[in-house]
Every structure is written in structure tokens, then in C-alpha cells.
Homo-oligomer: A and B are copies of this chain.
Amino acid sequence: MNGSSVLVVEDEALILLDIQSALEEAGFLVVAANSAALAIEAFDADPQSFKALISDIRLGSGKTGWEVARHLRQANSALPVIYISGDSDIHWGAEGVPGSVMIAKPFAVVQVITALSTLLNQHVPASPPPSQN
């Protein structure tokens, strides 16, 4: 129900690999995408299978990380979202989604793992159907 995979979107191959390796070593399942189009395609194929999004802002041509996050939040309004950026962090206040985290480059990968763990741990479980218990 919470999904099992973390979707990572980054068009620079080396940074994508770095984040993917670190997350997998920390015990997370990762779906890596090097473009917005591939990320959205993977998500739309099975929205329930994802538990978080980590996205760069500038993703070459096509949609930006801001747009990827909004698309995913349409389907899952509480999906944890982490943005990574070298120069777009000043636009986070206008373009980010509520409850998201912005990590400015250069960053240590442990910052991404800490942000991801913290957002997952804050995830409030949904209300159960009424009961008398």
C-alpha cells in the first residue's frame, strides 16, 4: 500500500548512479530514470508501487523536476518528494510542492538518505474504517 520503490530521476548518468548505489546499499529498492518522460512512464504504469520521488530539476528537454513532482502528487497527494539542484533551489518556494525537501548541490549522499528516511517515517498512516474496538 505504501509502495516499495523509490523513483530517482536525474539526467547526469554519474550522479544518478551514485544516488542509486547509495540508496540500494542502504536497503531501498530503486527505479532509476534519466529523463522526465521515462520517470512518468514508469510511475503511470504502476503508481501504487512507488513510495517516494527523488528528482533533479533540470532534466534536459521535456518536463522539469517541478512538473514531474506535480504529476505524481496528482495520483498520490502525500508522496514524499525530494528535489536536488545545482542552481534552481531559489525557485523552490514558488515551484516546489508542500512538505517537499530541497537539497542543493554539492551535497553528500547521506543527506538524501536522511531526507528520504525522515519523510518516510513521517508518513501518517491512513484512517481505518470505523470500528468499535
Interface residues of A (CB under 8 A from B): 2, 4, 26-28, 44, 47, 70-71, 73-79, 89-104, 106-111, 113-115, 117-118, 120-121, 123-128, 130-133
Query: A76-B127, A77-B125, A114-B117 are contacts. A27–B93 as well, Cβ < 8 Å?
Result: no
Chain B: CB-nearest residue to A104: B2
Chain B: CB-nearest residue to A128: B90
The answer to whether A109 touches B77 (Cβ under 8 A) is: no
The answer to whether B91 touches A77 (Cβ under 8 A) is: yes
- Copies of this chain, complex-wide, total 6
The answer to whether A93 touches B73 (Cβ under 8 A) is: yes
Chain B: CB-nearest residue to A122: B101
Query: A75-B130, A94-B73, A110-B113 are contacts. A89–B125 as well, Cβ < 8 Å?
Result: yes
Complex-state Cα separation, A100 to B125, whole angstroms: 13
Q: Contacts A77-B128, A113-B117 given; 15 further ones with Cβ under 8 A?
A: A4-B106, A27-B109, A44-B132, A74-B131, A75-B130, A75-B131, A89-B125, A90-B125, A90-B127, A90-B128, A94-B97, A96-B98, A97-B98, A103-B120, A104-B125
